[in-house]
Amino acid sequence: MTTTADVDQALEAAGLTNESVAQFVRQWAEHTGAERIEVVSAADDARLVQEALEAGELKPAGEGMYYSRSFSKDTARSEERTIVATSDEADRGQYNNWKPASEVRPVVEGHMKDALAGKTMYVIPYLMAPKGSALAKFAAGVELTDNRNVVMQMIRMARVGVEYINDMGDDFVRAVHVTGDLENLKQGTPDDMRNFVTVADERTILHFGSSYGGNALLGKIAHGLRQGSYDGWKNGFLVEQFMLLGITDKQTGKKYNIAGGFPSASGKTNLAMTLAPDALGDRYYVEFYGDDIAWIWVDEDGVLRGFNPENGVFGVAKDTNEKTNPTAIESIQPGSGAIFTNVAYNEKTGDVWWEGRGERPSDLDGWLDWKGERIADRSEDEMDAPWAHPNSRFTTVLSQVPNVADDYEDPRGVEIHGIIFGGRTRDREPLIRAIDDLAEGVYDGLTLGAEATAAADGKEGVLRYDPMSMRPFMSYGEGAYAQHWLDVVGQAKNQPVFAHVNWFQRGEDGRFLWPGYRENLRPLVWLMQYRAGEVTGQRTPVGVIPTRDELLLEGLDEQALADLDTVLTIDKARWQEEMGYREEHLQQFHDLPEQIWQAHRRVAKDLEDL
Ligand code: GTP
Ligand code: SPV
Ligand code: MN
């Protein structure tokens, strides 16, 4: 076990001078019984990668790219094991799984006691913001982890180094991650030992029992979303699971930035990365800012602004290919430093593959599925099982994304002109409907719904509501959350336009009625034109939808043209049915602002009158 002197020596050698951080590290070194302390920064990446390759934790996947595999029962965030704890029961919401801090803290601390005996405790100082941001005070954190892969993932996903923490005094999130003995945690049983706790009013995150994604990289989801949204509530800003992109009209020189929430695994990364300006006669230029998180506030001039707090992309691999998302493919080329997790891997060639990457390799030699089992050894009836896990992912840094905006690191963020919500819904929701009114926009966000996907444990195909795509990350009550939205966005001098989009409507034969992916630029261009008053669309009870001739249709394929009228139609009966479900959904929330109920009743009445 380390002594206080050892800890202090490690901190000093790394140039970590923040005494509050030092105390936090000492306390946890003692509690976990860590054998060694190692403070890391981004500059340590090459050495850590080398160590991980030697230890077999990473495998080479092409030059400067790596493959890793997580434990087979540890492949996604686990929502039912995730808890927001505070000392005030008023923070209990419908979705935040609230518990008293005094009850859960001892449990998870108990699991962590002496859990690092014989192990290294890595100290990861990080910032979830561009350096110099006015919100930096809420963005700094220190993650302690026993897992080298988590360190390498954090180096890609966050800004990592002592320089981000030394001047922060006590303004940092205390984040502790202990992997635990994954084979013996009784996952999914009544004795499940996993606990993913954010003690929001103490700015402390304690995650035990996973080494995967948002369960383990505590900067990203636990701090960047859960803790961040709690801090935002108390301090006047918004923190959302939103992508952020910019569209410039080269003819007019005008630029529009759009932020948007889509539930996990519903298309944020793809939308932010892959819009196809070339498809529309090269008139538009599209820039990438962020694919998963946006922090949003109104500046001193009354401008609604936002930035992406992350430094990288943790993208769903499935169906990512040259056609659906060429930009993503370009960002995971040799030399990119990309890490692939739970994809299929060829141990002889170092190639990786996933469902939707292209043809399945016909030569099975060397191929392992996501569990590490040889494909060639599969029996006849196992042959059709997926090779990659449906939630397998690639991790790459923003600077590798070819269309990343020049100003993506600007601490002032960018102005936000539009806010969109998009679910995964197979019927009812049209391609796009614009909403001009703030309360109605917030109402629309609160009633966002999606079919469950592989990113969260759950049944595929079952529809569930996911307010603003924040359901798994909600840190306080939904009524207060809605009010906070009205308050923050209400301060903006120029109100953003809202819109609801749906790329996932299906025909009776199950095919997608809209080609999606790169073609999604078309409805967004319409939204820009709508905001600028260049098109008027047709007013419906649920918003303004484009007329067929207002959409740029050049180059769209035959099938999409044939299906277009269906995705631009409002089905009154289906919508009225939906209004009943919405009412039940909203009734669960305590203290929902009256303005939201008014918006709901207005839509219901307009539907009745249709
Ligand atoms: P998280 O990282 O979990 O928050 O997910 P995300 O919202 O960023 O989702 P992502 O863009 O990674 O997409 C998830 C899945 O949806 C992938 O398998 C995509 O291929 C698929 N997808 C994304 N956009 C579209 C689209 O426009 N049409 C269709 N049909 N599928 C899409
Ligand atoms: C999500 O599930 O919404 C993600 C992936 O972005 S994870 O980081 O694992 O939460
Ligand atoms: Mn996400």
Which 3-state string (H, E, C) describes 405-447? CCCCCCCCCEECCEEEEECCCCCCCCCEEEECCHHHHHHHHHC
Long-range contacts of 95-101 (CB under 8 A, 24+ apart): 95/467, 95/471, 95/472, 95/474, 95/478, 96/474, 96/475, 96/476, 96/477, 99/197, 101/199, 101/201, 101/202
- Answer yes or no: are the C-beta atoms of 464 and 472 closer than 8 Å: no
Q: Is 265 in the pocket of ligand 1 (CB under 6 A)?
A: yes
Q: What is the largest CA-CA distance in the chain?
A: 75
Sequence-distant (≥ 6) Cβ neighbours of residue 366 within 8 angstroms: 346, 347, 348, 349
The residues lining ligand 2, judged by C-beta closer than 6 Å to any ligand atom, are 77, 213-214, 220-221, 264, 292, 314, 455
Q: Is 264 in the pocket of ligand 1 (CB under 6 A)?
A: yes
Residues 392, 394, 398, 402: is their CA dihedral positive or negative? negative
Cα–Cα distance, 211 to 52 (Å, whole number): 15
Cα–Cα distance, 496 to 207 (Å, whole number): 37
Task: For residue 4, count CB atoms less than 10 angstroms from its CB and return exposed for 0-12, middle for 13-18, buried for 19 or more.
Answer: exposed
> Which residues, in sequence order, are bridge partners of residue 353?
344
If you measure from the C-alpha of residue 80 to the centroid of ligand 2, how many angstroms do you get, rounded to a whole number? 15
Sequence-distant (≥ 6) Cβ neighbours of residue 396 within 8 angstroms: 156, 312, 313, 315, 331, 332, 336, 337, 338
**How high is the pLDDT of residue 461?**
43
Which numbered atom of ligand 2 lies nearest the CA of 241? 3
- Answer yes or no: are the C-beta atoms of 447 and 585 closer than 8 Å: yes
- Of 215, 172, 186, give the one whose Cα is nearest residue 79: 215
**How high is the pLDDT of residue 450?**
82
Q: What is the DSSP letter of 381?
A: G
The pTM of this model reads 0.97
- Answer yes or no: are the C-beta atoms of 380 and 138 closer than 8 Å: no
Half-sphere exposure of 457 (CA within 13 A, CB side): 15
Half-sphere exposure of 501 (CA within 13 A, CB side): 30
Q: How far lies 61's CA from each of 303, 330, 414, in Å? A: 44, 15, 36
- DSSP per-residue string spanning 139-165: HEEEEEES-HHHHHHHHHHSEESGGGT
- Of 220, 286, 265, give the one whose Cα is nearest residue 473: 220
Between strands 204-208 and 173-178, the pairing is parallel
Would you call 469 a catalytic residue per the annotation? no
ipTM of predicted assembly, 2 dp: 0.98
**Low-confidence stretches of the chain (pLDDT beneath 50):** 457-462
Q: Given ligand 2 and candidates 70, 79, 177, 292, which is best to mutate, with the most ligand atoms within 8 Å of its CB?
A: 292
> Which residues, in sequence order, are bridge partners of residue 173?
141
**How high is the pLDDT of residue 463?**
61
- Answer yes or no: are the C-beta atoms of 78 and 457 closer than 8 Å: yes
Give me Rg for the CA atoms of the chain: 24
Q: How many H-runs (helices) and E-runs (strands) does the chain carry? A: 16, 31
Q: For each of the domains in the chain, give its residue range(s) and CATH number, in order of start.
A: 4-39+82-235 (3.40.449.10), 239-308+408-609 (3.90.228.20), 317-392 (2.170.8.10)
**Averaged pLDDT of the chain:** 95
Q: Given ligand 2 and candidates 177, 215, 220, 473, which is best to mutate, with the most ligand atoms within 8 Å of its CB?
A: 220
Q: Is 292 in the pocket of ligand 1 (CB under 6 A)?
A: yes
Task: For residue 359, count CB atoms less than 10 angstroms from its CB and return exposed for 0-12, middle for 13-18, buried for 19 or more.
Answer: exposed
If you measure from the C-alpha of residue 216 to the centroid of ligand 1, how many angstroms do you get, rounded to a whole number? 22
Cα–Cα distance, 270 to 432 (Å, whole number): 17
If phi over 0 gives left and psi between -120 and 50 gives alpha, with beta otherwise, what is residue 556? beta
- Residue among 70, 78, 266, 475 flagged as catalytic: 266
**How high is the pLDDT of residue 462?**
45
- Of 424, 513, 510, give the one whose Cα is nearest residue 465: 424
**How high is the pLDDT of residue 427?**
87
**How high is the pLDDT of residue 592?**
98
Q: What is the 3-state secondary structure (H, E, C) of 473-522?
A: HCCCCHHHHHHHHHHHHHCCCCCCEEEEECCCCECCCCCECCCCHHHHHH
pLDDT tens per residue, range 498-507: 999 999 999 9
Closest Cα to atom 8 of ligand 2: 214
Phi/psi at 502 (5° precision):
-150, 115
Q: Is 601 helix (H, G, I), strand (E, B) or coil?
A: helix
283 token code pair: 């008139």
